Structure formats: structure tokens, C-alpha cells
């Protein structure tokens, strides 16, 4: 146990001196004129009265201890390890193709919103890409902006320079964002339906190695019929992630659940921190106060 304001403990000198003075003092003897009486010693009564008179100094000592702020180390609890998750969404024109009862873009965004509900406490960012890259929502635990972004990210509303598919360019851009996050794990979830021309010629190997060097795991989801581009498997495997094919909306949701299971929340032990510990002193003080009130009705020196 320690105290938040240890200098206050110097005031304990006052109650200690009061206790010493009260126990040592003799008072003034009084002779009563009683004829033919045999007085009996009542030392036990004197001690009871002295103990009753010690209650106020002891109560003062308890008050000083409370003012000093008693603390003790709280039991350490496991602390959640933050995961920084950058969602990278393809907004090229092909994402307007039919996908279940909606479009690929619509169902992809619905699955993203569901995924954020699985990962409460993690930080999410949103990046959209086509030929170019736009960082739409910065990494944050406040997911309101991300969940309300759907109407603004429809592919038919994008400018012409967002019409292509450059997965390599998008991954390089989000790598710069995630590597600046010193706290927590780093993960990229990229959703696309096309073939990227900027992953050939060894570029996929290079990008994967760079992401792996920054401890960024990449999960690629191909939201269309067929298999993902071979280069996406290379990037995912180099970073410790995986590439998935999702040919319908239900499969897309299942992929997100699988990603969540592959990267469960990690916990780390936190250092114990001092916490206020008033209750033993408060209970002791209330007990002394109650005894003082009761003793005032019987055990006290006579006023004369």
C-alpha cells in the first residue's frame, strides 16, 4: 500500500501526541468528604475512561490517512491488442455488375459494415481505388463515417480516372498509411472483382515483401465468379494473409467471418496500476465515530 499524497502523513504527529498526552495525564485528584467509608480502587474504570478519551485522536488519525489518499495496486487485467484494419474497396465500373439481389459494390459494402461489428475495439480505415487511390476514412475507432459512406462510393458516381483496377498501386498507398501506426497489429482487407495489370513482372513479389517487412497482413477477396488473380495469392501468402474467391453475397459474408476467425483478438497482460483504497479506513472511521458517540453517554470524566 502507498499514498497519493504522502506528505499529508506528517500531520499524524498531532494525533500521536494527543494519544500520548491523554494516556499519561493524571488529572486533578478530588477528595470527597465521606465519613467511615472504605474507598476501593477502580483502576479499571479509569482505563475505560482513558480509552474512551482516545477515540477522538484516533478518529483524527483516520481522517489524515484518508486525506493522504491510500492506494494499492489493482489486479492487472488483460488488455486488448489494437488491430489497425485498412479496408480497400474497388470502385471501378465493373463493381456495378449484378451480385445476388444487388451489385458487387453494394454487397461488398454491406459485408464490410458487418465485419466492423465483429471487431469492436479495433481501428478501421477506408480506402477506395480504381486507377487512382483515395483515402476516404482515416484509421479510427469511431466507425460512423465509414458506415455512412456507402451512398458516396457508388462506382457510377466516380470520376473517369477511377475506372481502372490497380491493386498494386492501392496496396503501396495503404502501406504508407499503416506503417505510420506504431501501436497495434496491421491488416489490409482488399475487395476487388478485376484483374490488375500492375502486379506482373515481379511486382507482386516486391509488394508482398515490402508489406511483410512492415508486418502488414493482406487478405484479398475476389467478389466475382472465378478464381482470384495468381499474383494476389503471392502477396497474401508472403504477408501471412490469404486470398479468397467469393462468387455470391453469402460467400462474401462467410469470407469475412473466416478472416475474423483467422485473426482473433489478442490480449496482453497490462501492468498493475494503483487504485484508491479508502474503504478499510472509512469503515474504521465510522466504527470509531460510533464508539465515541456511545461512550459520550457514560464513560467520561465528571465536569467538576
Buried b or exposed e, range 267-295, using 16+ CB within 10 angstroms: eeeeeeeeeebeeebeebbeebeebbeeb
- Give residue 284's Cα distance to chain centre: 35
For residue 213, what pLDDT is reported? 93
Q: Assign domain 79-264 to its CATH architecture.
A: 3-Layer(aba) Sandwich (3.40)
Q: Grid coordinates 494473409 are at which residue? A: 241
8 Å CB contact between 46 and 3: no
Strand-pair partners of 255: none
- Give residue 128's Cα distance to chain centre: 29
Cα(155)–Cα(284) distance, integer angstroms: 70
Cα(55)–Cα(292) distance, integer angstroms: 6
Residue 49 has a CB neighbour count (10 Å cut-off) of: 17
* Cα-based distances in Å from 116 to 86, 99, 111: 11, 21, 9
DSSP string, 172-224: HHHHHHHTT--SSEEEEEEEE-S--GGGTTTHHHHHHHHHHHTTEEEEEEE-S
- Where exactly does CATH 3.40.50.410 map onto the chain? 79-264
For residue 80, what pLDDT is reported? 59
Closest by CA position to 166, among listed 141, 197, 127: 197
Residue 121 has a CB neighbour count (10 Å cut-off) of: 10
pTM: 0.63
For residue 209, what pLDDT is reported? 94
Cα(281)–Cα(205) distance, integer angstroms: 65
- pLDDT for 200-237, tens place per residue? 889 999 999 999 999 999 999 999 888 899 999 999 99
Closest by CA position to 74, among listed 220, 217, 297, 271: 271
In the chain the first and final C-alpha atoms are separated, in Å, by 46
pLDDT in tens, the chain (304 residues): 788 888 888 988 998 998 888 877 766 666 666 656 565 656 676 777 778 888 888 888 999 988 988 888 776 665 556 788 999 999 998 899 999 888 999 999 999 988 888 777 788 999 999 999 999 999 888 888 888 888 888 888 888 888 889 999 999 999 988 988 877 789 999 999 888 889 988 999 999 999 999 999 999 999 988 889 999 999 999 999 999 999 898 999 898 888 888 776 665 555 667 778 888 888 998 988 888 888 877 665 554 4
8 Å CB contact between 242 and 208: no
User: Nearest-5° angle of CA 146, CA 148, CA 153?
Assistant: 80
For residue 90, what pLDDT is reported? 93
Closest by CA position to 153, among listed 91, 97, 88: 91
Amino acid at each position: 500500500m502507498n499514498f497519493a499524497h504522502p506528505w499529508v502523513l506528517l500531520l499524524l504527529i498531532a494525533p500521536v501526541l494527543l494519544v500520548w498526552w491523554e494516556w499519561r495525564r493524571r488529572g486533578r485528584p478530588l477528595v470527597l468528604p465521606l465519613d467511615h467509608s472504605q474507598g476501593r480502587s477502580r483502576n479499571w474504570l479509569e482505563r475505560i475512561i482513558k480509552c474512551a478519551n482516545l477515540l477522538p485522536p484516533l478518529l483524527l488519525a483516520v481522517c489524515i490517512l484518508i486525506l493522504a489518499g491510500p492506494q494499492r495496486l489493482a489486479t492487472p487485467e488483460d488488455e486488448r491488442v489494437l488491430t489497425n484494419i485498412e479496408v480497400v474497396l474497388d470502385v471501378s465500373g465493373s463493381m456495378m455488375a449484378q451480385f445476388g439481389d444487388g451489385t458487387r459494390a453494394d454487397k461488398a459494402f454491406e459485408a464490410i459494415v458487418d465485419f466492423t461489428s465483429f471487431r469492436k475495439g479495433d481501428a478501421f480505415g477506408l480506402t477506395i481505388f480504381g486507377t487512382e487511390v483515395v483515402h476516404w476514412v482515416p484509421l479510427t475507432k469511431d466507425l460512423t463515417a465509414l458506415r455512412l459512406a456507402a451512398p458516396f462510393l457508388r462506382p457510377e458516381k466516380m470520376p473517369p480516372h477511377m475506372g481502372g483496377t490497380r491493386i498494386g498501386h492501392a496496396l503501396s498507398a495503404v502501406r504508407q498509411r499503416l506503417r505510420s501506426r506504431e501501436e497495434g497489429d496491421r491488416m489490409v482487407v482488399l475487395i476487388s472483382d478485376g484483374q490488375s495489370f500492375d502486379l506482373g513482372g515481379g511486382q507482386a513479389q516486391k509488394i508482398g515483401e515490402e508489406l511483410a517487412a512492415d508486418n502488414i497482413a493482406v487478405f484479398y477477396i475476389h467478389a466475382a465468379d472465378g478464381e482470384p488473380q495468381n499474383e494476389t495469392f503471392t502477396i497474401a501468402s508472403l504477408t501471412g494473409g490469404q486470398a479468397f474467391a467469393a462468387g455470391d453475397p453469402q460467400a462474401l459474408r462467410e469470407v469475412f467471418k473466416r478472416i475474423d476467425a483467422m485473426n482473433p483478438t489478442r490480449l496482453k497482460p497490462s501492468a498493475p496500476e494503483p487504485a484508491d483504497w479508502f474503504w478499510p479506513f472509512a469503515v474504521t472511521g465510522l466504527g470509531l465515530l460510533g464508539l465515541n458517540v456511545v461512550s459520550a453517554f457514560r464513560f467520561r470524566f465528571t465536569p467538576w
